[in-house]
């Protein structure tokens, strides 16, 4: 369980520092021409900028966070799986904290035509991949 909390704290800390840098940016920072740049964007929606009506968005975000925490507690003690749950929890908490003052999440990674995203989104995605990989490795998706 320690790795779970360590991963969550690491995701929160990384998110804080990148968020702070992004808020201070003036204009786009091109890293790879026409492909990768840092560009400040404030997102009122959830994944891919999808906006849900009224309080449904906040309710679903918080329910998902509680579900992830319950699944993490009930999971096997597997290093990769615990890390995955920690990354998801830390990334989700970072986005909730970012959203709290004004209802907006600060996004800043721009990759090609893909929607702009942030470090917490990366943490959540990697966490999900770790959990899926663990399930596949343990034969959890057999036919």
What pLDDT is recorded for position 92? 94
Is residue 76 annotated as part of the catalytic site, yes or no?
Answer: no
Helices (H), 1-143: 2-24, 56-74, 79-99, 119-137
- The tokens for 136 are 């596949």
Please say if the pLDDT value at position 116 is more than 90: yes
User: What's the pLDDT tens digit per position in 23-48?
Assistant: 888 888 999 998 999 999 999 988 87
Please say if the pLDDT value at position 143 is more than 50: no
| Cβ–Cβ under 8 Å, residues 46 and 31 | no
| Cβ–Cβ under 8 Å, residues 35 and 112 | yes
Is residue 121 annotated as part of the catalytic site, yes or no?
Answer: yes
Catalytic pick among 78, 82, 98, 107: 107
What pTM was computed for the model? 0.88
């Amino acid at each position: 369980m320690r790795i779970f909390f360590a991963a969550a704290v690491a995701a929160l800390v990384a998110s804080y520092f990148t968020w702070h840098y992004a808020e201070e940016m003036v204009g786009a920072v091109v890293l790879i021409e026409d492909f990768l740049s840092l560009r400040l964007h404030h997102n009122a929606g959830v994944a891919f900028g999808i906006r849900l009506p009224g309080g449904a968005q906040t309710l679903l975000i918080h329910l998902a966070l509680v579900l992830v925490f319950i699944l993490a507690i009930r999971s096997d003690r597997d290093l990769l799986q615990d890390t995955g749950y920690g990354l998801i929890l830390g990334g989700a908490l970072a986005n909730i904290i970012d959203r709290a003052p004004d209802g907006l999440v600060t996004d800043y990674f721009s990759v090609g035509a893909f929607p702009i995203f942030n470090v917490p989104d990366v943490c959540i995605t990697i966490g999900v991949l770790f959990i899926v990989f663990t399930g596949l490795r343990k034969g959890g998706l057999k036919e």
